[in-house]
Amino acid sequence: MRPRLHEHQGDLSRRAFLTKVTVGFSGVIGLLAGVPVLGYLLGPITRPVPQKWISLGPTNSFPIGETKLVKFTDDTSLPWSGLTELTALWARQQSAGVFDVWAVNCTHLGCPVNWLPQAQLFECPCHGGIFYSNGTVAAGPPPRPLYKHPVRVQNGMLQALTFPLPTD
């Protein structure tokens, strides 16, 4: 049997060599481009969300026994959050100088809850969750009470500490 032309045992052909070089360079370029993209995509997951005290308004704007929706811009959210950075809290002065502030989100699936002043209840329109005026579960599928925010009063202003809602 005669050996074919350009076929040498143990030697790389020109085509095989160029194929290996091209695949190698493509891998290096893909790695160099992929690392920053992965960092951008996974960064928000690994970076802790800062907690921040926000001002909800003067304490005298919260009458005793009245639940009030307070809207604010969550500047701890990510730059690409869009409208989700516009959020709210429910605030109530239980007695003189005693405040409760709850997240506006239902603990079942995160839908925003409504306050029903005549019934003195929070209602989740998504799946019928009902909460008492102190945030505890009255009926429906919510597994726990509304999330309560720590509060403080400074210079006559009611403040609440923001935090990311648990995802469990």
CATH number at residue 72: 2.102.10.10
Same domain, 72 and 19: no
Alpha-carbon distance 119 to 132, whole Å? Answer: 9
Domain containing residue 32: 12-47
Would residue 148 count as lying in a domain? yes
Would residue 2 count as lying in a domain? no
> Higher confidence at residue 11 or residue 39?
39
Position 123 pLDDT exceeds 90: yes
Would residue 168 count as lying in a domain? no
Same domain, 33 and 63: no
Would residue 167 count as lying in a domain? no
Please give the pLDDT value at position 67. Answer: 93
Per-residue pLDDT, averaged over 27-52, amounts to 77
Buried b (16+ CB within 10 A) or exposed e, 97-136: eebbbbbbbbbbeeeebebeeeeebbbbeeeebbbebebe
Tokens of 158: 């009611």
Rg of the chain (C-alpha set): 29
> Picking from 71-75, 92-96, 140-144, which range would have the lowest pLDDT averaged per residue?
71-75
> What total number of domains does the chain contain?
2
For residues 59 and 158, the answer to whether their CB atoms sit within 8 Å is yes
Would residue 3 count as lying in a domain? no
> Picking from 36-40, 92-96, 124-128, 150-154, which range would have the lowest pLDDT averaged per residue?
36-40
Please give the pLDDT value at position 14. Answer: 85
64 DSSP assignment: B
Same domain, 78 and 30: no
pTM for this model (two decimals)? 0.67
